[in-house]
Structure 1
């Protein structure tokens, strides 16, 4: 049953869930169908833009790898294969009902305001749980590790919901996705540090501010053209290659926000219906719809900084002590890694870029450390890309919640008690707290 649900893909499954939610909230059925399908159209459009980005950026990335002379031997296979590996494990087989019941239980007991409908991305929790299982030899500890990761994700989603809604322009949503939520504590800490640094304190330099100061220089199309040129020159492209990249990157800068508008259009009647429903039946109680980080990609800062990080990541990979990962499959979708930095830093380009560099250092090191476990999962799952005597990983598994939970739980019972205690404390401390918009 759950394999069939996963086979539907996010572009089908999410609209179905949205239609059901709309009907539960007493929205007229044709309006609910239109809203759900419109959300699906937005996700289809985003998927097409992402595929275009991967197809256009992968060849120059490979050229840059050759030019930089990278000889790293742990290969990044990307988020797509990583999700398959996660769901092919014993914990992956049970992760959907376990996390869904956890989410419902936390909603009923008012420990969260988020209903996470991004079920496809439960694979992040399955990876964390399986790493714990491999480290400890205990399936029970593994399931508990996955539950702890999911619970933390829900609380980060609650904590950041208002700012996400303000920055992204989507009312009634939150972001509980397994990687994105795990980056929030680091970005909040870094934002506090930036407030102590003279040249960034009290400033907010985003695309709108640049456009206000320098006119068309801050326009997303112009930013895309400049980034495409930088990318082309870094890859040693000629006129044709540079021109193609300039147009493609400019298209990405423009098309992502357009697709987000479609998702907004679809979510608005559902959000309004939810607000009226909870005001009537639950004394105005607030509930957020938990979505994938993809809905945050329409912000110009996220796209611009994400694309700038691609050559920076390759340089980092070559000089970072302890790194063994060759970034490849996940590089074209680098904006996903820093989307929550844009939210926490309120769209500030400088802060988001600095935080992006710092977080990608942690991603490389965690992905390196997880490589033996990830390779073991892939081999046991029968995946052909996991060749004997070669290690693989994915940048998207390099999240700090997964790493900290697995490291602590590897200590045995005392580590499990510490993790459960920390997670319970965070849930209680953040129960009525939210980051200001």
Structure 2
């Protein structure tokens, strides 16, 4: 089976790392279709943060597409339409076009031009993730969650939502998380979603633990929706109300001004002396620092499964997070402790319990180590390849008129 994998790989976040880890282990090498500017950026990131790992794999299996500058989702189809025209003579070579992202714009074009395609949902389309999963009208539910996770207002997403309903209807797609089809049903997005379980794996280097000289760690992208500022609020409660002075570490990737805002907030609260902030570390440095932590406080608002959660558990570190669908449905283990959404005081109380009760903490750490043993990248890749083969062998269907009309309008523009 010949698979063309269209991706931008604009960063080395958990979802993009997952693409590399699985594609590298497919029984047959895929062909990456990557815009030239993202291709160059990816190679530089692999050299800087991964010591060149995956570089040969990418260089030997990539077709460079024209540079892409995308600011809105509806710009994707126009770009892909032009790019695929450049390689249209090679389209018949591939048995399947694969988008390992939840980008509706990419899916819309592939469905409209009639090639065999599928996608891997690493977040819930349009919304990213639900923080609150109350039974209500889908539009009201989207509007509520967009405000809660700071992603804007429904007016910015309504057009994308309507296109997503048309694009996903009747299609078979894959998902890395049990929470994604659940959230899609609440939002009224219909598709045949096959959940890969497990949908992520563990790097072998994770199974090691060093001296535990860091009490609390935040490990993830330094973004508001990932919970870095809620982590600071938890730390402030521990310091001011519980008279604790935990040593803490904030680390992760960032390419904006968030680290400056984080440090300013720590100074404002008088917490700078308790917290180290380390940004854009190498993979080896990240895991080395993670192994030193006792407790991982991860108040994320935007997640589907959270590779960082698995990595923490693999280092013998219990995790405290919000009770959002992504954590509730994927982590049925006592090693991941959930508190009500945005309940900072409860998160601080659970954190204090873990820090003060070593026997309790170590019991959860051992349970977490047992839980993650099944998260193996080889098995994840083989299962994904098997599902791709099933989709490639399905009978092709003509694109729906409403999608084809959108594509026609874009191609004329």
TM-score, scaled to structure 1 = 0.28
More strand by share: 2
Larger RCO of the pair (alpha carbons < 8 Å, separation 6+):
1
Structure in which a larger fraction of residues adopt helix: 1
